[in-house]
Amino acid sequence: DAGVIQSPRHEVTEMGQEVTLRCKPISGHDYLFWYRQTMMRGLELLIYFNNNVPIDDSGMPEDRFSAKMPNASFSTLKIQPSEPRDSAVYFCASSLAWGQGTRTAEAFFGQGTRLTVV
Amino acid sequence: RKEVEQDPGPFNVPEGATVAFNCTYSNSASQSFFWYRQDCRKEPKLLMSVYSSGNEDGRFTAQLNRASQYISLLIRDSKLSDSATYLCVVNTMNSGYSTLTFGKGTMLLVSP
């Protein structure tokens, strides 16, 4: 498997523009996570899906952010309109389902999308 | 109190040194614990899980103290290639669903 695939790798956009980040999880993984990483705040969980259903979106900063997972092999994170403070590296990760008592739950990360909003 | 706290470092050590990182977590219901490694401008990758009894993987030893809500990572005989940021990660079950919470990481710089 090629691992988690994200696109684009880099995105530079002007303030006010719509930005769409894409993610293809590892085949067979039930969980998909969107994270944002900045120097100030580290890695923050934005939203995660289980079997394509959004479970927890409490980390989404505001209504400008939305995420979808139309099928098991694809997810998008959209920012509309974008602002300079959205500049960060956005990671998508996927993982196999795990239940109570399971000891290991490795999350596999994509290479990230480095977003710069000017 | 932050959910997962780590000393940001950087820790500057010479090759061959032993270095230890600490991490504290706030949610006593947390069930699983991990250390991830992140190289500069790369994605995080799992380094090792942390088990209650403590576990070792080559030069790396991880320990967990549930009573104190404290996790540690010890690296012996540091190599230049160990230079990276080490992220403490806590998995907490909530209403049947699991979430991974990451610390901000501790940066390690190993010099010749």
Residues 6+ apart with CB under 8 A from A52: A69, A70, A71, A72
Contact A102 B32 (CB under 8 A): yes
Contact B99 A48 (CB under 8 A): yes
Mean pLDDT in residue range A96-101: 59
Q: Which residue of B has its CA nearest to A6?
A: B43
Calculate how close chain B gets to A90, using CA atoms only, in Å: 10
Examine the pLDDT at A104 and tell me if it is beyond 80.
no
Mean pLDDT in residue range A24-41: 93
Q: Which two tokens stand for residue A113?
A: 């999308």
pLDDT over 70 for what percent of chain A? 92
Q: Rg of chain B over CA atoms, in angstroms? A: 14
pLDDT tens track for B37-47: 999 999 999 99
Calculate how close chain B gets to A64, using CA atoms only, in Å: 23
Contact A45 B101 (CB under 8 A): yes
Residue B72 belongs to what H/E stretch? strand B70-75
Please give the pLDDT value at position B43. 96
Decide if B50 contacts B62 (C-beta within 8 A): yes
Distance of CA A5 to the CA centre of its chain: 11
Contact A103 B49 (CB under 8 A): yes
pLDDT tens track for B75-95: 999 999 999 999 999 988 777
Q: What distance in Å separates the CA atoms of residue A115 and residue B52, rounded to the nearest whole number?
A: 39
For chain B, list residues with pLDDT below 50: none
Taking CA atoms, A115 is separated from A23, A37, A110, in Å, by 15, 11, 15
Please give the pLDDT value at position A103. 47
Residue showing tokens 């190599």: B79
Q: Which residue of A has its CA nearest to B46?
A: A106
Contact B43 A109 (CB under 8 A): yes
Query: Which of A48, A105, A110 shows the shortest C-beta gap to B91?
Result: A105
